[in-house]
Structure 1
């Protein structure tokens, strides 16, 4: 058995080295805590495709000293072009260009692998101990501790489970396994270089500079984005799906099935799917926002997808995990080493209602886009209000998770002290 630190600083174990876990490691280390970040991967590979961060999370990256590194690998697109399924432009949304003036910080769009590498590197640079190849065997929420495959037990002052939708840490919090739900939808996803499209007039406009394009149709919506001067391309297409998630969540994508699904769509969008490589069919797993994020002991909490998985249409899953991370770190810093239960319960109080409402945006956004058209004729039969932009989640871009804690700590912590004392 071992402790991860011997000083008076708070000793933190974070399980899961993804976007949320790495962000939490950075935020806690910047508050002077001793942090150990565990991940079951033997090597952190640049997996995934494009991912976006709204201004609500990019402002945190700016404060933490990461923003410039992330901006260096981000899209320079200034607008999002929304198109009908046949290619007709519905609107051009300028939020990407105007976000800095409106919210103080520009959003970020790029490859998940590049961002993840930057986050992990900054975590290590801030003194975080990174241990790879560590699949957690079990949690002991009472100490709290985690047991590694070697039999080693790591004990800390607080354990944060940032281990995703399949989170074993959630069982330590809830006391039972909370099975995920298939959302009824899946996403065909692909990412690669644009070499194979060079000289093709149908897609030339996507290659000239970074761009973001969105197509909407009956029961379908898709994106094509390019980054790094149009040299890398990402394509996604959300579609209805009835797969059994017990068999797995990710499958090789069937190109012919995709092309049949969009056979009479915009020829440019079709051409992308005719040529793009590395297609996967990702089943969208969902569960409502958990109403408990903290163990009975008050020493283990869940973060990000482990507590509240977001659908891609929210464009906020990663950003909300980063906000969770910022909130946890600040609550722990304010409560101190001997009041971890107060800190974690305050984290839940600060985040729960906000996240629950934000999570719902992914559902309402998808349903809005998917139900504008007559299913038979494909004619648009409902009005679409784009006066505030194409994404409903823009309403979240002005949020400041750290400011919420700073402004509300005295009131929330005092109320919780009374409640915890009465238990």
Structure 2
């Protein structure tokens, strides 16, 4: 699915070198486009905790030559164990071990920071001009171009804003400041070397092999994941939160708050939170999937968290950003230089309903897990259907973003052409 252009004078500027922006850069470079990738951070460090990619994106990583590097540092977990808050096993989900058979490709779970290093390395291998420590001061959406702090103007054929939940590019697309919505929840997150649990009789059995464990209770659910042959351990706990703070704000967590929340829960889960280090309290903000991703000029578009952040329960935030990048690249290549408005509006046409549905899974999944119990007795009063596995987002694992462009381009682009002609815009 590589459509090489006859020349490399088609210049794409991407603002934001996170997982989505870097994926977009790789995909564009593979289409023969000249790519400049900017990020305000001077140097990336392998920080953070775990992130998962479903089969819908690992198929892209294989095509792009990234999969082997990612698999080398990924979890070897073959199953996910879902437990009640007291530790009783609800179900054992074998999807991780059977993903290749069911969906054609394995899923990947690993350390976000280490994966990110691989993404940036593959940007450079594919000839992307990666410029770190450069903050974009403003956009000219009519040319299009971006301005650096030095005053230098960088001209492009297309500008893609992949600059996250606080996106400045989104303001350029919408023409207004878009305030976030507090989701009413936050996540306690932590990642540690598992050596601190080596001699712990409760937790050390989890370190024998890579594993994914999920606990659910009223208004709470949490994961413990071990990766790299049990040498790293990641814990997350989603909880209700009423703090009125700025978007994306995170603070050091108070361990006692966590222990109070899981008092009486499975001793294994409690022990993890008693000892794990580097805990943060991440406030979950939310926006409905925006219904406009492309500026009125048709030359600037947003993607990933800039067009609408995903809740962690979707398990698809990173994957959908990667799919956005793949779609942008193929649409630009299909339309060709001089037809950027057609390309970017077709990208929106192809992606909007899919992304909107994927984002909604995060809300419905959380609601399902959090409303099974009587909050007073703590007894599970509703039956949980796990016949298709523990995650509703498995339904997205069959999707192929590149094939969706190949199959849908003619119809989607024809619709966009008609709309552009109807509004007297250049096609």
**1:18 matched to 2:15:** no
**1:130 matched to 2:113:** no
The 1-side partners of 2:411 and 2:352 are apart by 16
**1:50 matched to 2:16:** no
Which position in structure 2 is the counterpart of 1:234? 234
The 1-side partners of 2:321 and 2:241 are apart by 26
CA shift for structure 1 position 140: 1.1
CA contact (8 A) 1:287 1:308 kept: yes
Residue 35 of structure 1 aligns to a residue in which SS? strand
TM-score normalised by structure 1 residue count: 0.97
Q: Structure 1's 90 and 168: CA in aligned 2 closer, same or farther, altered over 3 A?
A: same
The 2-side partners of 1:249 and 1:388 are apart by 35
Q: Deviations over 1:291-325 (max 9, x none)?
A: 00000000000010000210000000000000000
Matched residue pairs, number? Answer: 417
Q: Structure 1's 342 and 383: CA in aligned 2 closer, same or farther, altered over 3 A?
A: same
Which position in structure 2 is the counterpart of 1:30? 30
The 2-side partners of 1:14 and 1:40 are apart by 12
Q: Deviations over 1:236-255 (max 9, x none)?
A: 00000011122861000110
Q: What is the alpha-carbon root mean square deviation over aligned residues?
A: 0.9
Which position in structure 1 is the counterpart of 2:415? 415
Q: For 1:126-165, what aligned pairs fall within 5 Å after superposition?
A: 126-165=126-165
The 2-side partners of 1:247 and 1:380 are apart by 34
The 2-side partners of 1:406 and 1:263 are apart by 52
Residue 363 of structure 1 aligns to a residue in which SS? helix
CA contact (8 A) 2:75 2:227 kept: yes
Which position in structure 1 is the counterpart of 2:3? none
The 2-side partners of 1:264 and 1:8 are apart by 62
Q: Which consecutive unaligned segments of at least 5 residues does structure 1 have? A: 1-6
**1:179 matched to 2:179:** yes
Which position in structure 2 is the counterpart of 1:352? 352
The 1-side partners of 2:147 and 2:219 are apart by 45
**1:320 matched to 2:320:** yes
CA shift for structure 1 position 422: 2.1
Which position in structure 1 is the counterpart of 2:311? 311
CA shift for structure 1 position 217: 0.2
Q: Which consecutive unaligned segments of at least 5 residues does structure 2 have? A: 1-6
Residue 201 of structure 1 aligns to a residue in which SS? coil
CA shift for structure 1 position 180: 1.0
Residue 330 of structure 1 aligns to a residue in which SS? helix
Residue 399 of structure 2 aligns to a residue in which SS? coil
CA contact (8 A) 1:9 1:32 kept: no
CA contact (8 A) 2:166 2:247 kept: no
CA shift for structure 1 position 62: 0.6
Residue 223 of structure 1 aligns to a residue in which SS? strand
Which position in structure 1 is the counterpart of 2:4? none
CA contact (8 A) 1:87 1:215 kept: yes
Q: For 1:209-288, what aligned pairs fall within 5 Å after superposition?
A: 209-246=209-246, 249-288=249-288
**1:101 matched to 2:101:** yes
CA contact (8 A) 2:78 2:97 kept: yes
CA shift for structure 1 position 27: 0.0
Q: Deviations over 1:141-180 (max 9, x none)?
A: 1111111111111110000000000000000100011111
Which position in structure 2 is the counterpart of 1:399? 399
CA shift for structure 1 position 263: 1.1
Q: Deviations over 1:66-111 (max 9, x none)?
A: 0000000100000000000000000000000111011110010000
Which position in structure 2 is the counterpart of 1:64? 64
Which position in structure 1 is the counterpart of 2:386? 386
CA shift for structure 1 position 135: 1.1
* 411-420 or 34-43, larger mean C-alpha shift: 411-420
Q: Structure 1's 382 and 233: CA in aligned 2 closer, same or farther, altered over 3 A?
A: same
CA shift for structure 1 position 182: 1.0
CA shift for structure 1 position 415: 2.0
